[in-house]
Amino acid sequence: MASERDVRARLQRSGQEHLLRFWAELAPEPRAALLAELAPLEPEALREHCRRAAEACARPPGPPPGLAARLQPLPPERLGSASRSDPKTRRRWEEEGFRQIALNKVAVLLLAGGQGTRLGVTYPKGMYRVGLPSRKTLYQLQAERIRRVEQLAGERHGTRCTVPWYLMTSEFTLGPTAEFFREHDFFHLDPANVVMFEQRLLPAVTFDGKVILERKDKVAMAPDGNGGLYCALEDHKILEDMERRGVEFVHVYCVDNILVRLADPVFIGFCVLQGADCGAKVVEKAYPEEPVGVVCQVDGVPQVVEYSEISPETAQLRASDGGLLYNAGNICNHFFTRGFLQAVTRDFEPLLKPHVAVKKVPYVDEEGNLVKPLKPNGIKMEKFVFDVFQFAKNFVAFEVLREEEFSPLKNADLADRDSPCTARRALLAQHYRWALQAGARFLDAHGAWLPELPCSPPNGDPPAICEISPLVSYSGEGLEVYLQGREFQSPLILDEDQARELQPQEP
């Protein structure tokens, strides 16, 4: 272990010697912990990190000068659509996706995020229950979708196949996540095919470029954003693991989208048949000022431009069909070839520019008292997973319907959007639509038919509660055999046991 003298000299070179100002007060054990935390911080890299944080924070907010003139929407040849394509084309994409899954060439990679602080909980977001009748967590829903897509691909191609599940966690969430999976028997997935790994942490910095002490013996550290994926892939030899398994295509997604379709065969097939090395699912923006990044081109190069960087005038621009010119909303749902990820980790990761997140960071003052600030006082530097789009040789985007594939969970229930309530309603409304399309009818408490509304009222529940297990249907397929011509009273919970009961008996 590095000595105090060595660490102190390195901190002086980086201009951060204040981190040892309480050294004389610390007992041997806290001293050892602090040295262990400080020793890996390279002086030049730390000095540069702090300089860039302070410099970035000093930049005025809003659109960069001249950006509007450099923006272009994606050209049509780079854009596919799940809803606007004819059924034959869609089936061709789906068949190709299932073929690649059956060949064991597809993996999914979860950006598991941090703790659910904004949800009002202290555990990882994937362990959260939004209040479904089944009481399933986000992790369970996602695991069951993996099992179902493996089953569908295997049945089509007469084989057994595996979609490995990689989970990028942080130092704060790895332990609870691993324990949760063990407690739930990995949701009946083979533990050998569930690979968890940690992203790096970076020091939080004051507005004038000084690393923050969280305690007398601990630096305030924060995960390096979902763009920390690329360093983490290298740190933990994840791409080598994928290569050993024969994985060629990777579906990367964020934990908080309750409607996410893991290893979506339509998306995978579209990207493969387009010869893409990098792809992104997008949804049509709901309104010009919606706070989502836009997938577009800057100087002819694909990238995501954050909503805060687009001027209101640019956001309002209309295309010839009357829709928004910049309408491809980013939903953090991506396709990468393994070869592209190898190129990023080998050549391009150092070129990624960190983004500033201004946060309230607890700290100790000069007297050693813990302070929990009431307003932002620190900078956390993050990289974004989509910042690699610019390096793709063949980037494509794939538009999907918001009501079918995107309902994020970010805020507590009191919020009017992206809350447990809106996520639950989105899933139950989707399953109600699937049931109606499969020929089910629903009855009220008095036995009268409920109206077959194609969509739920705004901010309301569907006319009947219907939850369909991902183990029964991945995307609405195959439900006719259980539901067609049948009447149900709310709630209908169609799990595997209920499906067996409803399946017609062989004569």
Listed range (31-40, 57-66, 202-211, 363-372) with the worst mean pLDDT: 57-66
| 67-404 CATH, one of 3.40.190.10, 3.40.30.10, 3.40.50.300, 3.90.550.10 | 3.90.550.10
CB 251 within 8 A of CB 400: no
d(CA 505, CA 93): 34
Question: Is the pLDDT assigned to residue 60 strictly greater than 80?
Answer: no
Q: What are the tens digits of pLDDT across the range 87-97?
A: 999 999 999 99
Per-position b or e across 78-96, b if 16+ CB within 10 A of its CB: bbbbbeebeeeebebbbeb
Confidence grade of residue 493 (pLDDT, cut at 50, 70, 90): very high
Contacts of 84 (CB under 8 A, 6+ apart): 399
Mean pLDDT of 263-277: 98
d(CA 439, CA 497): 20
Number of neighbouring beta carbons within 10 Å of residue 17: 14
Question: Is the pLDDT assigned to residue 113 strictly greater than 80?
Answer: no
Q: Which helix (H) or strand (E) holds 99?
A: helix 87-102
Q: Which two tokens stand for residue 329?
A: 């909303």
d(CA 416, CA 74): 31
Q: Which two tokens stand for residue 11?
A: 């901190």
Q: Which two tokens stand for residue 74?
A: 């994606």
Q: What are the tens digits of pLDDT across the range 364-417?
A: 999 999 999 999 999 998 999 999 999 999 999 999 999 999 999 998 888 888
Helix pair angle (43-58, 4-14), 10° resolution: 40
CB 164 within 8 A of CB 215: no
As separate numbers, helices (DSSP H) first and strands (DSSP E) second, the chain gives: 16, 24
Mean pLDDT of the chain, nearest integer? 93
pLDDT, residue 407, reads 95
E-strand ranges in 67-140 read 71-72, 79-81, 106-111
Polymer length of the chain:
507
Q: Give the predicted TM-score (pTM) of the model.
A: 0.94
Percent of the chain with pLDDT over 70: 98
**Would you call 423 exposed, middle or buried from its count of C-beta atoms within 10 A (0-12, 13-18, 19+)?**
buried
pLDDT, residue 449, reads 87
Question: Is the pLDDT assigned to residue 305 strictly greater than 70?
Answer: yes
CB 128 within 8 A of CB 256: no
Mean pLDDT of 204-224: 93
Instruction: Please choose, from the candidates 120, 119, 130, 139, the residue with its C-alpha nearest in 3D space to the C-alpha of residue 422.
Output: 130
Q: Output the 3-class SS for 96-154.
A: HHHHHHHCCCEEEEEECCCECHHHCCCCEHHHCECCCCCCCEHHHHHHHHHHHHHHHHH
Q: What are the tens digits of pLDDT across the range 133-186?
A: 999 999 999 999 999 999 999 999 999 999 999 999 998 899 999 999 999 999
Question: Is the pLDDT assigned to residue 273 strictly greater than 80?
Answer: yes
Strands 355-359 and 328-337: unpaired
Domain locations in the chain as residue ranges: 67-404, 420-502
Q: Which helix (H) or strand (E) holds 249?
A: strand 249-254
Per-position b or e across 28-66, b if 16+ CB within 10 A of its CB: eebbeebbebbeebeeeebbebbebbbeebeeeeebeee
d(CA 335, CA 277): 8
Q: Which two tokens stand for residue 90?
A: 């869609």
CB 89 within 8 A of CB 249: no
pLDDT, residue 355, reads 87
Mean pLDDT of 485-505: 91
Number of neighbouring beta carbons within 10 Å of residue 495: 17
Confidence grade of residue 299 (pLDDT, cut at 50, 70, 90): very high
Class of domain 420-502: mainly beta
